[in-house]
Chain A
Amino acid sequence: MSIRPYSLVGFIHVVAIAFGLSLALLPAKAQIPSPPGATPSPPTPNLPTSPEAQKLHGIAAPPFPAAPDKLPLAQLKLPPGFKIEVYASGVTNARSLRLGDKGTLFVGNLVRDKVYAIVDRNGKREVKVIASGLDRPNGLAFKDGTLYIAEGTKISKLENIEDNLDNPPKPVAIYSDFPNHVSHGWKFLTIGPDNRLYVNVGAPCNICIPPPENAQLRSIALDGSDAKVVARGIRQVVGMDFHPDSKVLYFTENQRDWLSEDAPQDKLNRLLHPGADNFGYPYCHGGDIEDPIFGWGHSCDEFTKPVAQLGPHSAPLGMRFYTGQMFPAKYRGAIFLARHGSWNKTNKIGGDLVVVYLNEDGTVKAQEPFMTGFLQNNNYIGRPVDLQQMPDGSLLVSDDYDGAVYRISYGNGGATQ
């Protein structure tokens, strides 16, 4: 592991210390009195007792992007005929991707404060910062020359941004009626076929009864007026897209932590009844498990079921329908989605791209891995976040761990680069 000085390998190598030992670390005088030989009190329900599980913690991306020659391209595996290359490196904490009308790729941040613009001139790419000092600018959308940015507590816009990349104005706020919370406080943003913004307001916790203004999806007019709640009972969304034919909104949803190693399943949802659908949080998780605390008196049957389960704790984020011509025909109309990868699981899963095939009626026919390899020996060497289809049908993928954007192409599509 020569990529970065502070790798996660060290974390795995930390010698396991038994849970019971922690009491022995107290100063002698402060120990909880108990009879000799007594077994320690049982932990609170839902707290894991295995030392491996007790070491689990959110995985912070390295503070600096990986050098171009250290990016893990060689480890990434794709179906035959596909090729992956670096589209741009040094894009610290690269998150959501959006393409401008004139070919500019916009990239958002979560743990950093910037929005980047990547300009491609005949394959030579320049990364520019077009906004900084922002508050978790994770959500981006683009329409008619205007870039919309969803931060922690507001949505703002940059008009005619592609004509002003070297001297961008400050973003102008258009909507700010969001609760301010750190936990799941970041947003994903898209624009629907109805020309309205769609944005999530996450649950302000891992598991709790959320305030009424949280755990929902909202639809807002492009000028920031006329906000409506279109879906409820949603813990956190970091990816959504509209079906190209039916125009139905599909979105990934991340489910609660600390329930168990293999539950609950993260979800792919679709919104068939805007304004009416409730997806179950905090009462039902994964579409099939009632919460051990909040689920009493509820049934998962009360809530809208997911169209697919995407793996426990796997953290599905960006998802896009593929409508391009470059990839083989079977991928047309399928969903490509990025699983950022689990943290709250001792045997990690995810760190890959999955392709989900749909039936005519919009239900899921099958899902299969598309690109794997970010997860090596239970450690991440990269973590995919969002996808963007390019006009030539190639697919871009952001990686917030290595601070890079990759390009996936098929057949001769790769030869032009």
Chain B
Amino acid sequence: MRRLILALAAAGVTALPAAAQNVQQRLPVCLACHGSNGQSQTDGVPSLGAQQPFYTTVQLLMFRERMRVADPMNEMAKGLSDDDLRSFADIIAKLPAPKPPEGPVDDARMTRARALVDQNRCNFCHTPNFAGQDNVPRIADQREDYLVKALRGYKDNSRHGYDTAMADVIAPITDEQILDLAYYIARVR
């Protein structure tokens, strides 16, 4: 299914010359993977609802400039103007915030992870309700698999932030702790 969506996305990009595509025309292609209601149903693809516009603008810029490499986003961001990036960011910020998954919650794991959150001050930059601020993204109720991927990317240096904040905090965090943190953040209310 994901491969099909990616193929469609790629087709959407190449079917029209970049200049002929405005933000509204491209948006359905984005939301096909990221979810039209702010909530992604696609493995490994983040929910974008209520994301901080400064953060989104910077990430789109990094995709466009290939400072962050992630298929198919580099292709998707090709040819976008600075104003396009800002427009996408503003539209995405107005999508509803994602919701935590249904189902039972492992209380012991939540407690363990909360201690890690406090210890590593995730709730400082990301704010106490994890809604983010400025260049610091909303992470509350993000997809768990994406959070694991993002944290592992910072850990093994395959993902560079626009600044070094995540590299600084991730250094002492183990992979086991990454799994707990992602579990918690994906379910936080």
- A binding-site residues for B, Cβ under 8 Å: 5-6, 8, 10-11, 14, 17, 19, 21-23, 25-27, 29-30, 32, 43-44, 47, 54-58, 60, 63-64, 111-113, 133, 180-185, 204-206, 208
Which one of B58, B65, B111 contacts A60 once the chains associate, using CB atoms below 8 Å? Answer: B58
Which one of B129, B134, B164 contacts A182 once the chains associate, using CB atoms below 8 Å? Answer: B164
Complex contacts, A60 vs chain B, CB 8 Å: 54, 58, 134-135, 162-163
Q: Size of chain B's interface in residues, with CB distance under 8 A? A: 44
| B28 interfacial by beta-carbon distance below 8 Å | no
CA distance A232 to B125 in the complex (A): 31
CB A317 to nearest CB in B, in angstroms, measures: 15
Which one of B57, B85, B189 contacts A27 once the chains associate, using CB atoms below 8 Å? Answer: B189
Chain A contact residues: over half helix, strand or loop, or mixed? loop
Interface string of B160-187 (1 = CB under 8 A from A): 1111110110010000000000000001
Q: Are B134 and A6 in contact (CB under 8 A)?
A: yes
> For window 117-174 of chain B, which residues contact chain A by CB distance below 8 Å?
118-119, 121, 123-125, 127-129, 133-136, 157, 160-165, 167-168, 171
Complex contacts, A185 vs chain B, CB 8 Å: 164
Q: Which residue from chain B places its CB closest to the CB of A111 in the assembled complex?
A: B162
CA distance A156 to B189 in the complex (A): 49
Q: Are A57 and B114 in contact (CB under 8 A)?
A: no
Complex contacts, A57 vs chain B, CB 8 Å: 124-125, 133-134, 136, 165
CB B186 to nearest CB in A, in angstroms, measures: 12
Q: Which residue from chain B places its CB closest to the CB of A28 in the assembled complex?
A: B189
| B102 interfacial by beta-carbon distance below 8 Å | no
Q: Are B114 and A32 in contact (CB under 8 A)?
A: yes
Which one of B65, B82, B171 contacts A113 once the chains associate, using CB atoms below 8 Å? Answer: B65
Q: Are A5 and B53 in contact (CB under 8 A)?
A: yes
Can you list 22 A-B pairs with a CB-CB distance of less than 8 A? Answer: A5-B86, A5-B90, A6-B57, A10-B133, A25-B128, A25-B188, A26-B114, A29-B107, A32-B114, A55-B127, A55-B133, A57-B134, A57-B136, A57-B165, A60-B134, A60-B135, A60-B163, A112-B65, A113-B65, A133-B66, A181-B167, A182-B160
CB B55 to nearest CB in A, in angstroms, measures: 9
Please indicate which of the listed interface residues A21, A111, A112, A185 has the most CB atoms of chain B within 10 Å of its own CB: A111
CA distance A374 to B161 in the complex (A): 25
Which one of B86, B111, B168, B188 contacts A183 once the chains associate, using CB atoms below 8 Å? Answer: B168
Given contacts A25-B189, A26-B114, 11 further A-B contacts (CB under 8 A): A22-B123, A22-B128, A27-B100, A32-B114, A55-B124, A57-B133, A57-B134, A57-B136, A111-B162, A181-B167, A182-B164
Q: Are A54 and B67 in contact (CB under 8 A)?
A: no
Q: Which 8 A-B pairs have the closest CB atoms?
A: A182-B167, A30-B110, A60-B135, A6-B54, A57-B125, A22-B128, A183-B168, A17-B128
